[in-house]
Amino acid sequence: MADWRDIGHKTIDALLAPLENLKLSPNRVSWLSVVISIFVYFSLQKSLLLIGILLLLFVLFLDALDGFLARKKKVESFKGLVVDTSCDRLSEFIIFFPSKLWIMLAIINVYVTLGRLKNKNIFIIPLRHIFLILLVIGFVIGFEKISFLMW
């Protein structure tokens, strides 16, 4: 599991390398991802699917960016991990509302995160990534065809 995480980090580091000198703290980036998630929620509630998808992409970009900046500035810490993961969980709650299924998955992810914070080998479910893929599929083939997955 740790090897896959290392591969993931190296891939992200390579892709985000041009942003290495960004003058933002990783915690501020995490904070921003929660704020932008609120706008994802607004977009999806108003059925502005494309805007919602783009904003969700931006949220996931910020989620990768905070870890990247922490590694590059050598400020990785357990506290930073707590900030990052708690931002991710909150982001999930607001994005997934009012879907009962996805809210419940987000609740499960809170406890999975707790496990991860105690044991690095536990894998956090990438719910927002899966949700994004479903939104894109819905945008392409029609949202009504996948509405059963959004209960």
Residue with Cβ nearer other proteins (98 or 142): 98
Helix 49-72 with 26-45: angle, nearest 10 deg: 170
If we measure between CA atoms, which residue out of 64, 55, 56 comes closest to residue 15?
Answer: 64
The DSSP call for residue 124 is P
Taking CB under 8 A as the rule, does residue 120 contact other proteins? no
Window of 2-10, 68-76, 86-94, 141-149 that interacts with other proteins by CB under 8 A: 86-94
Taking CB under 8 A as the rule, does residue 111 contact other proteins? yes
Taking CB under 8 A as the rule, does residue 78 contact other proteins? yes
Of 104, 122, 133, 141, the residue at the interface with other proteins (CB under 8 A) is 104
If we measure between CA atoms, which residue out of 85, 84, 95 comes closest to residue 53?
Answer: 95
Residue with Cβ nearer other proteins (97 or 137): 97
Taking CB under 8 A as the rule, does residue 41 contact other proteins? yes
Window of 56-64, 109-117, 121-129, 136-144 that interacts with other proteins by CB under 8 A: 109-117
Which DSSP string corresponds to 13-44? HHHTGGGTT----HHHHHHHHHHHHHHHHHHH
Alpha-carbon span 143 to 134, nearest angstrom:
9
> 121 is written with which tokens?
């080998």
Taking CB under 8 A as the rule, does residue 86 contact other proteins? yes
Count of positions on this chain that bind other proteins (CB under 8 A): 30
Q: How far is the CB of 124 from other proteins (least distance, A)?
A: 13
For tokens 């479910």, what's the residue?
A: 125
Alpha-carbon span 77 to 82, nearest angstrom:
9
Binding footprint of other proteins on the chain (CB under 8 A): 27-28, 31, 34-35, 38, 41, 45, 78-79, 82-83, 86-87, 89-90, 93-94, 97-98, 100, 103-104, 107, 110-111, 113-114, 117-118
